Structure 1
Amino acid sequence: MTFIGSITGGSLSPAIIFNNHKPPLRHRHQRPPTPPIFISTNLSDINPNNLRDLCTTCNHSFHRFPNISPDGKVEPVDVDKLRTAVSHSSVVVSVYARSELVTGGGDWYRRMIPLTPVTGELVGFGRAVGDDALTASIYDVMVTPRLQGRGIGRMILQRIIRLLTNKGIYDIAALCSDQDMKFFKACGFGDDMLGSTTMMYTRKSGSDLDLSAGRKLLMVPPLRKP
């Protein structure tokens, strides 16, 4: 599977040298380096309370339609439901970094301790839900704001896809918001060629249920070569 690379440093354009003088280089924006991180695919490494805190920090909700307060904050996820949702996921990826990278500060002694899910702070997460045989959908890819733009989200997405394809699952989709589409496209996803549509129940006043349809923001990786 081919991923579109992100900007990791200055780029040198081909140049012709005249009179032993090189033309000025075009400097591109450099993102901060990726800090030391620990990536885990072990479900037991995830503490639901820490995951809920990460959701709050990222203003992200596992609910498709969360309640939003007047200041734009989403409602906290119930820890028990969060634990159940994660335990029933086909693939989970969690990322840990030293807490001083997130909060600042720290001392030399803490830097000497090996980085593990126990000694580190949860700074990134992503999961996939599927049937463990044919299809899967990627959800809830997030990175704490302080460490965004350093390639951690791309690592999470690549690890999820690798774990799924190792199981022989190539029908992979990602349900995302308009704001997330740029990120997924940069990681090799594209618009759904089949024009898939979601059908969902929306509860009206009383006990009646109304069936509504809408365009699904479904993105898929490039097709496999035969």
Structure 2
Amino acid sequence: MAVAAAVYGGSSPSPPRIAAQIKPNSTPPPPVFISTNPAHVNQHHLRDLYAICNHSCHRFPTIDAAGRVEPVDALKLREALSHSPVVVSAFTKPEFLTTQSSASPEVTTFTGIGGDWIRKVAPVTPENGRLIGFGRAVSDLGLTASIYDVMVHPALRGRGIGRMIVQRIIRTLTNRGIYDIAALCTDNQRHFFRACGFGDDMLGSITMMYTRSSSGYSEDEQTISAGRKQLLVPPLRELGK
């Protein structure tokens, strides 16, 4: 069951304090470049990250026998990113990440004098790095925002990268005067978001999701598929047409 964690500002709001991770990994994070430029996100690489993290954009994803979620729809992902005013991506050099398909680290190729040395000392950039983390926020750009799709490559989890992504999202939103920030998360993700400064809504509100199922289907209603769940769309006349 998903729950909503939220941070609310008062009359003189200040950015929420990011708490220390509850059980941090003793291994320090590799050099990481955090970007808020949507142009730095290669959608093919982002789809690969969704797959590696087994993360779905849907609340009711189709899951195969191995427990893997369905691939992300490229068109819908592109549309979602275009309507997300805050997009944060994290990059590190490929040599800091050993992929599951190879026992040796991946490396990038630098040409010229002292190529290997230059590769090692060059700072991380989206051009020479690999996408290893992501998060986005949807907002009305004036009052409220919600955080979605925070993920980190499994090989680098527990090293503070996810917290850096959430920090940058919050900083970007609060710099725009937006302090009513929520995160829709599962029970397993609550510890992480609490460590990032989120908690239960002080106003006592809860998140309600549209869940009307196809039982009791009438001719005036349309059935739509939301992953594994069938939902009913009300007829237009009920929507005030």
TM-score range, shorter chain: 0.7 to 0.9
Instruction: Render the CA deviation track for 1:20-65: whole Å, top value 9, x for unaligned.
Output: xxxxxxxxx7521011011100011001110010010111011222
- What count of residue pairs does the alignment treat as equivalent? 191
Contact 1:7 1:30 in 2 (8 A): no
Matched, 1:198 2:208: yes
Q: Distance in 2 between matches of 1:179 and 1:114?
A: 34
Instruction: Render the CA deviation track for 1:126-169: whole Å, top value 9, x for unaligned.
Output: 01001000000000100001111110000000110000000000
Higher relative contact order (CA 8 A, sep 6+): 2
What is the CA-CA distance between 1:179 and the residue it aligns to?
1.0
Q: Percent identity?
A: 57
The residue correspondences of 1:6-45 to structure 2 (distance < 5 A) are 6=21, 31-45=26-40
Q: Distance in 1 between matches of 2:106 and 2:66?
A: 30
Q: Which runs of 5+ in 1 are unaligned?
A: 9-28, 212-226
Higher mean alpha-carbon deviation, 131-140 vs 82-91, is at: 82-91
Alignment partner of 1:93 out of 85, 88, 95: 88
CA root-mean-square deviation: 2.1
Matched, 1:73 2:83: no
- Report the TM-score, using the length of structure 2 for normalisation: 0.73
Matched, 1:4 2:14: no
Q: Which runs of 5+ in 2 are unaligned?
A: 1-15, 99-104, 108-115, 224-230, 234-241
What is the CA-CA distance between 1:89 and the residue it aligns to?
0.3
Matched, 1:48 2:43: yes
Q: Given the superposition, is the C-alpha separation of residues 105 and 118 from structure 1 closer, same or farther in structure 2, using an over 3 Å criterion?
A: closer
Q: Distance in 2 between matches of 1:129 and 1:111?
A: 37
Q: Distance in 2 between matches of 1:202 and 1:47?
A: 36
Alignment partner of 1:129 out of 127, 138, 147: 138
- Report the TM-score, using the length of structure 1 for normalisation: 0.78
